[in-house]
């Protein structure tokens, strides 16, 4: 019976302490609730503001439309971290050693396990704020190329001509040279291809043939006009590069295939071989172009000014 009385007193005392602790925690919980409500309200205002910036309804100098979304995400994280720091002292048991030890353990686990995640997120933010590319643009990253479907915080998704979706980690993209083939083309993309022709073919003729092939390729724009440059004078041949702009009606690989087909047809029609000769000995005749053949078909000679008699 004595033990029963002691157990009853212990249970009553513990129940009373628990009730008083719960009553004492109510003001702190109310404070935490108020902090959460205020944080949600501020976050909602920030979201509305950045959404309007992203849609172009609001213009501010310090944030661009392309960077409005990542800035909103960063602002959301900062608001809730600040709210957590303010609410932490008011949580029940926050001052106990057990709670502090658990907080330290969780922080250590996050620090060790999330290092790669933080690196990917940092790379994503760098890509977003550098505005290297945006959704819908055609890019080449290293040996991979495709249309950007999504620039995320941790990875970027590219759609290829073969119907594949490439998922590239942002840290990988940051370490590669990125070619944006759409940014300077006003809704289209850049087209370029290279051919190597021997020195015995007039360069003016090669220019005219390549431009003729570009004119036959429907998606290639007439303005700005395609142009050809000599990019190298190698030991055995000249390297020519055709540069043009194309509309985005067709995928870039499809336009490139059509352009290459037209280049083959144009060179065949004019009897010019697409070859890169290599010599083991000096040829019997020098590989030069006589002046009479400088403007071989389809090249056209410039009109000479008429001489006036004195």
* Pairwise CA distance, residues 287 & 18, whole Å: 102
Q: What is the mean pLDDT of the chain?
A: 82
Instruction: Give the pLDDT confidence score for residue 216 in this predicted structure.
Output: 92
Give the model's confidence band at 271: pLDDT under 50 very low, under 70 low, under 90 confident, else very high: confident
Instruction: Give the pLDDT confidence score for residue 87 in this predicted structure.
Output: 85
Q: Name 180's bridge partners.
A: 139
* Pairwise CA distance, residues 34 & 36, whole Å: 5
- Count the Cβ atoms, other than its own, within 10 Å of residue 15: 10
Q: Is the pLDDT of residue 274 over 50?
A: yes
Over range 114-130, report the average pLDDT: 80
Least confident of 8-17, 42-51, 86-95, 177-186: 8-17
Over range 235-239, report the average pLDDT: 89
Q: Is the pLDDT of residue 194 over 90?
A: yes
43 within 8 A of 76, measured Cβ to Cβ: yes
Over range 148-161, report the average pLDDT: 87
Give the model's confidence band at 110: pLDDT under 50 very low, under 70 low, under 90 confident, else very high: low
Task: Pick the more confident residue, 147 or 97.
Answer: 147
Over range 145-173, report the average pLDDT: 88
- Three-state DSSP class for residue 294: coil
Reported as half-sphere exposure (CB side, CA atoms, 13 A), residue 43 has a value of: 17
CATH class in words for 132-180: mainly beta
Domain boundaries, the chain: 2-113, 132-180, 189-278+288-293
Task: Pick the more confident residue, 101 or 38.
Answer: 38
Instruction: Give the pLDDT confidence score for residue 287 in this predicted structure.
Output: 63
User: Would you say the CATH fold of 189-278+288-293 matches that of 132-180?
Assistant: no
Task: Pick the more confident residue, 21 or 86.
Answer: 86
Instruction: Give the pLDDT confidence score for residue 310 in this predicted structure.
Output: 46
Pick the CATH number of 189-278+288-293 from 3.90.245.10, 3.40.50.620, 3.30.70.100, 2.40.110.10: 3.30.70.100
Over range 83-90, report the average pLDDT: 84
- Count the Cβ atoms, other than its own, within 10 Å of residue 201: 23
Task: Pick the more confident residue, 97 or 230.
Answer: 230
* Pairwise CA distance, residues 69 & 99, whole Å: 36
């Amino acid at each position: 019976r004595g033990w029963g009385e002691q157990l009853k007193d212990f249970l009553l005392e513990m129940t009373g302490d628990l009730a008083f602790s719960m009553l004492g925690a109510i003001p702190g919980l109310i404070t935490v609730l108020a902090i959460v409500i205020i944080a949600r309200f501020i976050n909602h205002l920030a979201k509305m503001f950045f959404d309007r910036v992203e849609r172009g309804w609001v213009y501010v100098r310090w944030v661009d439309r392309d960077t409005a979304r990542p800035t909103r995400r960063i602002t959301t994280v900062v608001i809730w971290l600040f709210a957590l720091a303010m609410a932490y002292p008011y949580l029940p048991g926050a001052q106990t050693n057990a709670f502090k030890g658990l907080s330290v353990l969780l922080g250590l686990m996050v620090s060790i396990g999330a290092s790669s995640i933080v690196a990917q997120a940092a790379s994503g933010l760098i890509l977003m704020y550098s505005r290297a590319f945006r959704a819908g643009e055609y890019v080449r990253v290293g040996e991979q190329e495709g249309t950007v479907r999504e620039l995320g915080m941790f990875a970027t998704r590219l759609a290829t001509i073969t119907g594949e979706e490439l998922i590239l980690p942002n840290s990988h993209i940051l370490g590669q040279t990125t070619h944006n083939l759409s940014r300077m083309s006003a809704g289209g993309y850049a087209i370029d291809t290279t051919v190597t022709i021997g020195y015995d073919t007039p360069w003016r003729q090669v220019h005219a043939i390549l431009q003729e092939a570009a004119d036959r390729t429907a998606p290639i724009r007439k303005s700005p006009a395609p142009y050809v440059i000599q990019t190298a004078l190698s030991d055995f041949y000249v390297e020519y590069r055709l540069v043009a702009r194309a509309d985005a009606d067709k995928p870039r690989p499809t336009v490139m295939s059509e352009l290459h087909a037209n280049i083959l047809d144009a060179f065949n029609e004019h009897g010019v071989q697409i070859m890169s000769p290599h010599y083991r000995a000096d040829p019997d005749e020098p590989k030069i172009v006589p002046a009479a053949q400088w403007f071989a078909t389809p090249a056209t000679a410039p009109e000479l000014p008429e001489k006036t008699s004195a």
